[in-house]
Chains A and B, each alone.
Chain A
């Protein structure tokens, strides 16, 4: 299973259909939740997220916060290590 991570050459996700479905479900739930606000709140939050996405593309969080770790391990491997060991430390 671990080898699968490293053997994958392309960046395509396997479950595009499922991922789209979950994203649409979350959007629908957010719409339902903010129904009383009509669509104003939803539009406000989506716009905020969109702006954040743009701004975050200019910020390297790994360099700001994890520079001391990245000297020893790549961010990708750090994330992989956390995912792999998470059940051990927080069952």
Chain B
């Protein structure tokens, strides 16, 4: 009997890439879980490791990438060591599907969308061609594309429609979990909103979960129940979006949050974070944010802080910062004390 209380559980996951400079750590000790019917956001700048995490889950790492440590459990079953065959047979498309960044490249230009759907369906499931056609037509409906267009070729769709076709393909076998990597980054806000409207609908109807990877925290705050914020391979903070929004504990969290414009306050000065996420080789034994953090102390250089529960109403709210109990308050004091933020001192 499978006893699991989460759909996807990632525990202490460490992913590295082999390069001539050494093994670069892209993800370090990441832990989080996604429940059924939950939209989970994985946020961070580029280079944070969020895409790598997702690829690690679905077995899509580049040639030189490898899972060094940790586990990924899907419905209680460990999947990080699955072979290609196992991934194809048991997981891909029908349990976990993937919406990549640039939709244009994932649609086969030589095949009609319906043909692609049938091909995918026949590889991963036992449904008949007729059933598969029906399924993709229904999904086209859900994403707002006309059913008769199922037999069109990708080049006959406009950019936004292509993205929706890709989403339809990712959803038509009704997977439990969809991993979407910056699905709407290249799109205009109206199109983005339309797509999330359809994703909401799918969540409602099928209890589909979503792992949304993006650098856009606004989209995550609006559409996801939970979020994990990553910085240079480490999870800085995670919890419900409400808890993180109301009570951010990690400096990266609130600085990152404050870098985004809020249309309700168009004149608010936007936060700027100095420096870049560092490239880490081998074992990560410090806080990766230390060189960019205005509140760093000696301890931050010596140890990688563990994710610890913050202790507010959200039981799942945890932050990895040695000063998590005071950082946000220091920040607020600083903001109040001066009109404009002072230039960041030497660190």
Report whether chain A binds chain B. no
**A residues near B, CB below 8 A?**
none
